[in-house]
Amino acid sequence: MNLRVKVLVVLAIVSAGMVPVRAAAPVVGTKSATAAMPQIDAPIALLIDVGSGRTLYARDIHRRFVPASITKIMTSYVAFDLLTKGKLRIDQRISMRPETFREWHNVGSTMFLPADAQPTVAELIEGIVTVSANDACVVLAEGAVGSVPAFTKLMNQAAEELGMRDSHFNTPNGWMDEGQTYVTAADLATLSSALMTRFPDLYRRFYGHAEMTWGDITQPNHNPLYGRVEGADGVKTGFTNEAGYGFVGSAERDGRRLVMVMGGYDKSSLRARQSIEFIEWGFGAWQAQPLFAKGAAVAVATVQGGASREVPLVAPRGLSITAPNGSQPNYTLSVRYKGPLKAPIAKGETVASLLVRVPGEPVNVLPLVAGESVGKGGILERLRDGTLGIVGL
């Protein structure tokens, strides 16, 4: 049977023979619905609501720029992926190579790892995420997969899988490399959203820390949101003379998460002040209306060659629609996937999309995952699929 795109169109609530989770009444924020957009001087700026996928503000978000230490978001993403797959252990100790010590000792932001250091993977990730440790990035890369080139290969493979079409990584720490490492704001928002939603437990464990102590040295996290914005828990600052001051920030309140990207500031103080104002505007001027709770059944998809003929499609996180504060948006939902899906299918695998359409706005595309695993079927299942395919079922 030829692949075809299957679309299930629904009005307001999906009905596919499954009990939906009804959207709750919108909650009006405490700030005025007419909250003024703050002045943002960054050449590159983006603010999105992760739950709905809606872009709240965008400026030059597809322009390539040098990320500096913001690169380390991808470094942690790859580390989390390796941990999840069992290819790296959280308590695994990695020795500092003499060559690595000579090259990276006291270069930029570091953990001050000594020549004979044997930190654990957990300590290295903490150093990377909290104090932007350049030395920790290289030690982790070499210890995890043998070399920096092998690790950056994984970084670029992850970028491709995530659809980061305008990004490339040449180092695990973002150190100056004549522009070989570059990103866009749109790609960084995609990466950060995936980091939080695919690895929620690891994200909560390592991100959001205001300081880190290692080897009797305590260093602060320079995230400008910490201690100033309610719910702030990430993500990463970056600076070099080449890149200027950049920032990817995030905060979560009452289950609603915002992610922002800002690039190209000349002063760290201006970046700090405007990033706070920017994300507060996002919470104050916009409201989220829930659509489906995490794990809620949204629809079912047809499966070919599987032990089961169908698989439920569920929300991998809370899905919502975002609108200006005080408004009542009209919207339609549809579920799209290339069908029939082919077995095997792993539980939690992203296999479909929920399309949210609001008149006059771009379509928001949200992920749906398989609610259960479907193994390959035997000869009887193949005969079943062939017979049903003949009659168009």
Of 225, 260, 287, the one marking the end of a domain is 287
What residues make up the domain containing 247?
A: 44-287
In a domain, residue 110? The reply is yes
Cβ-based neighbours of 187, under 8 Å, separated by 6 or more: 159, 162, 164, 165, 166, 167
In a domain, residue 26? The reply is no
Regarding whether 237 and 158 lie in a shared domain, the answer is yes
Regarding whether 166 and 67 lie in a shared domain, the answer is yes
CB atoms under 10 Å from CB of 167, counted, come to: 25
DSSP state of 68: G
Q: If you write DSSP's letter for every residue of 296-360 in order, what string do you get? A: -EEEEEEEESBSSSEEEEE-SS-EEEEEETT-----EEEEEEEESEES-B-TT-EEEEEEEE-TT
In a domain, residue 38? The reply is no
Q: Strands 54-59 and 211-214: what pairing?
A: unpaired
Regarding whether 312 and 270 lie in a shared domain, the answer is no
Regarding whether 309 and 235 lie in a shared domain, the answer is no
Regarding whether 359 and 229 lie in a shared domain, the answer is no
Of 287, 303, 328, the one marking the end of a domain is 287
In a domain, residue 208? The reply is yes
Question: The CATH number of the domain where 328 resides is what?
Answer: 2.60.410.10
Regarding whether 99 and 209 lie in a shared domain, the answer is yes
Regarding whether 335 and 212 lie in a shared domain, the answer is no
Residue-level pLDDT at 326: 86
Of 266, 287, 308, the one marking the end of a domain is 287
Q: N- to C-terminal Cα distance for the chain?
A: 11
In a domain, residue 34? The reply is no
| Cα–Cα dist 36/361, whole Å | 21
Number of domains in the chain: 2
In a domain, residue 219? The reply is yes
In a domain, residue 37? The reply is no
Regarding whether 365 and 384 lie in a shared domain, the answer is yes
Regarding whether 308 and 238 lie in a shared domain, the answer is no
pLDDT tens string, the chain, 393 residues long: the values are: 333 344 443 333 333 323 222 222 222 333 333 478 999 999 999 999 999 999 999 999 999 999 999 999 999 999 999 999 999 999 999 999 999 999 999 999 999 999 999 999 999 999 999 999 999 999 999 999 999 999 999 999 999 999 999 999 999 999 999 999 999 999 999 999 999 999 999 999 999 999 999 989 999 999 999 999 999 999 999 998 878 999 999 999 988 999 999 999 999 999 999 999 999 999 999 999 999 999 999 999 999 889 898 999 999 989 999 999 988 888 999 999 987 899 999 999 999 999 999 888 889 899 999 999 999 876 655 554 555 555 455
Q: If you write DSSP's letter for every residue of 175-228 in order, what string do you get? A: ---TT-SBB-HHHHHHHHHHHHHHSHHHHHHHSS-SEEEETTEEEE---TTTTT
In a domain, residue 100? The reply is yes
Regarding whether 137 and 213 lie in a shared domain, the answer is yes
Residue-level pLDDT at 242: 76
Specify whether the CB–CB gap between 45 and 278 falls below 8 A.
yes
Closest CA to 342 of 24, 65, 2, 28: 2
